[in-house]
A and B are shown apart, each in its own frame.
Chain A
Amino acid sequence: MSEQTLFKVTVDNITIEVPAGTTILQAARQIGGTVAPPAMCYYSKLKGSGGKCRTCLVEVSKGSEKDPRPMPKLVASCRTTVMDGMEVKNITSEKVVDARAGVVEFLLLNHPLDCPICDQAGECHLQDLSFEHGKSGTRYEFQRRTFKKHDLGKHIQLHMTRCILCYRCVFTADQLTNKREHGILDRGDHAEIATHIEKSLDNEFIGNVIDVCPVGALTDKTFRFKNRVWFLKPMDAHRDCPTCSGRVTLWNRGDEVYRVTARKDEWGEIEDTPDGKPGWICNTCRFDKKQTTDWVIEGPREISRQSVIAQGHYAGNIGTTKPTETFAAINNGRSPHLLMDIHSESEVNQPNLHLGENQGPSNGATFNNNINNA
């Protein structure tokens, strides 16, 4: 094979070389950290996914070395391939931050925000996204949309109100199962995931739609309301499965297996098996093998320290490693790009005003006066 052409692409002032044909999102993920735009609908293992949720919008400030014109609109980074010499702005662009805040607001518009009773809470992408980019209040003052309930069978529970219509499950069913039985009905804001004729989804691999769902719209009926994910201890395990790779993550509490999922990487996507295929798992592994004796346990699963799931581990932080290096050391001496100077003391912290003497509640104006008077 001839050598691959490498394209130089700069995302938020960090330059990286990637093979031609890579998308901006994948290039940014290779850099990692906050440079990678969030993605709700894109799933690298599913052909044709992406471009729908618009959370990954970025600004292309320079098209390429040959044609340096900037792109007129924000582009979906998950579906736009890089060009040589392209310069991309993600969080360094005000337009992107503004548009992303807008998209998060749109996504949450009709979302019930029932996180306290949602099984996805703790590992929900929408939760992360709204925590990072959303506002604490809503400007929406109308009734949120509701749907007629659809029963998808004994394995999968559908909560249509939580759905953000990312189409991931449709692609999964399309590409993994022989006969797709569910899809999108209707259009616009009354579009819904459903089976056309009341029918249960019982294909051997249909359980994977639970793993790809970024929100709590499709959840595991065998795990429903049993436990919170952050009380569980994720363990890597495998079994000799005739239909799938059998490589899974068990979610234990004590000796009890509460649920079985595929192994997910840091972007929430299914990990590849050692032979390079996506590690989708079958329904038998997922729903029926709920005994520790069914599995060969490999050891605790590494979970990001930032995740709430890492907090509830029984014996300290199993599987998490605390970094010993300094930030500058691992970044070639570069300071973090969003460094705030937290060492200088704010004037607010040492008011000349005795707050006890202030009539009524204190607010910003109180302190501003204070600063002006000083």
Chain B
Amino acid sequence: MGVKLLLEKANVPGIRSYDVYRREGGYSAAEKALKEMTIESIVEEVKKSGLRGRGGAGFPAGMKWSFIAKPEGVPRHLVCNADESEPGTFKDRYLMEFLPHLLLEGLLISSFALGSNDTYIYIRGEYAWVADILEEAIVEATKNGWLGKNILGTGFDCMIHVHRGAGAYICGEETALIESLEGKRGNPRIKPPFPAIQGLWMRPTVVNNVETLAAVVPIIKMGGDEYAKIGVGRSTGTKLISACGNINKPGVYEIDMTISVEDFIYSDEYCGGIANGKKLKACIPGGSSVPILPANLLLKTAKGETRYMNYESLSDGGFATGSMMGSGGFIILDEDQCIVKNTLTLARFYRHESCGQCSPCREGTGWMEKILQKIESGKGEVSDIDLLWDIQRKIEGNTICPLGDAAAWPVAAAIRHFRDEFEWHIHNRELSQTSNFGLQHYADPIHVPA
């Protein structure tokens, strides 16, 4: 059994309610932080813990906190990014649905550290029932004196507001989220200025993921140094992985980042192997926007070393032979899955979610989708593959926000690793409509159960 910090109490009956959460030791970290610690020491602990942003980019959270500008007389804000819309990622929903008070406690500590009196949870519109749960939890916490005016007699005021999004993926980008929160169209802002200087209502703002903020609670409880001992290298602490696709046990798992990818997929504690006794073909290890990896590169790096479930190991080899930890949406594809169709599905998603502000992303995503649709429906030409490659190259890095990159990477990786499958689709137009390319040479290292 791995270490469990966030989901330790997830299975306690009634943990969603304040009373049970408090009985199980909840809000003790908040008590410690507000009564015994100073603002500086909280930030210091988070820095020491090496906690990295769990939303996808993996930027050190402590560092992000220390960037926030502190001009006199200007309120600062903390915004919790709960607009979890990445296909394949559902860890935040699980956390908020079952442990709403854990998030509130993390938010309270973080708000105290950042000096935010009005803290916002920007939650995805589709998570309507989760928003209700959070609102209920806020009412409970306020009733018990954990939110509102003069918390625990420290003179610190904090209120948490739940803001429901309208279901746009782009609003998960921090500046688009801020625009949306201000009541505007959710278009990403051009950076600089960064939110830490001019964010919500042009005030200094920190935007953090749900899981990042929840992880502040165990950090304060056990101390930054202790937290940093869990995990390996710069991947400290635990990470929630939402595993889905063709596996026996899909769900949200908490791992301590020292487990190998092979163990994670095949052990009974986690995914429990590939469903229906099929073979592993490919995996998108960190949510839909990270590069897809074929089985042979997933379990072993290009150098032949075992690949582990952590930030460094998953991105070993760069984009040529590696991928990214991303937001932890672990999508497994078995031998029956068609990579072209999978790429088309992703391209369609990004086309639909592009905000339309900057031209490469607005026009390029639609173009890629149409070409992939053409190949998928058996009308493709070999030149289309090179065209796709050229389009993704011209989108990547040339857009305002990372959505352009996120749209380009899956297409690039699919062509890089599965070019022969694309070619097979083009050369076997009729066959490709009825049957599947299958595994061919994507080695599935034969798994021997221990």
**Which of A's residues lie within 8 Å of B, judged by CB?**
50-55, 57, 73-74, 76, 79, 98-99, 102-103, 105-107, 109-110, 139-140, 142, 164-165, 167, 183-184, 186-191
Contact = CB atoms under 8 A, between A and B. Distances in A.
Given A52-B358, A188-B352, 7 more contacts: A51-B400, A99-B394, A102-B398, A109-B366, A187-B168, A188-B353, A188-B366
A53 B367 contact: no
A152 B352 CA distance: 27
Contacts of A79: 190
Contacts of A183: 185
Contacts of A54: 358-360, 398-399
Contacts of A98: 394
B387 interface: yes
Closest CB pairs A-B (n = 6): A102-B394, A191-B356, A106-B363, A51-B190, A188-B354, A189-B366
B278 to A, nearest CB: 35
A186 B364 CA distance: 17
Given A187-B354, A189-B356, A57 B398 contact: yes
A109 B365 CA distance: 12
Interface in B329-357: 351-357
B400 A52 contact: yes
15 contacts: A51-B190, A51-B400, A52-B357, A52-B359, A54-B398, A105-B394, A109-B366, A165-B356, A165-B357, A187-B168, A187-B354, A188-B354, A189-B363, A189-B366, A190-B356
Contact of B359 (A74, A142, A164, A187): A164
A366 to B, nearest CB: 27
B375 interface: no
Contact of B358 (A51, A109, A139, A190): A51
Given A189-B365, A189-B366, A184 B185 contact: yes
A165 B397 contact: no
Contacts of A99: 394, 398
* Chain B: number of interface residues, binned into ranges: 20 to 34
B362 interface: yes
A11 to B, nearest CB: 20
B233 to A, nearest CB: 23
A359 to B, nearest CB: 30
Nearest to B399: A54
B365 A188 contact: yes
A52 B190 CA distance: 9
Contacts of B355: 187-188, 191
B411 to A, nearest CB: 15
B429 interface: no
A276 to B, nearest CB: 26
Contacts of B190: 50-51, 76, 79
Query: B168, B359, B360, B367 — which one has the most chain A CB atoms within 10 A of its CB?
Result: B359
B170 interface: yes
B419 interface: no
B391 to A, nearest CB: 8
B370 interface: yes
B361 to A, nearest CB: 8
A59 B354 CA distance: 25
B423 to A, nearest CB: 19
A270 to B, nearest CB: 23
A189 B387 contact: no
Nearest to A73: B397
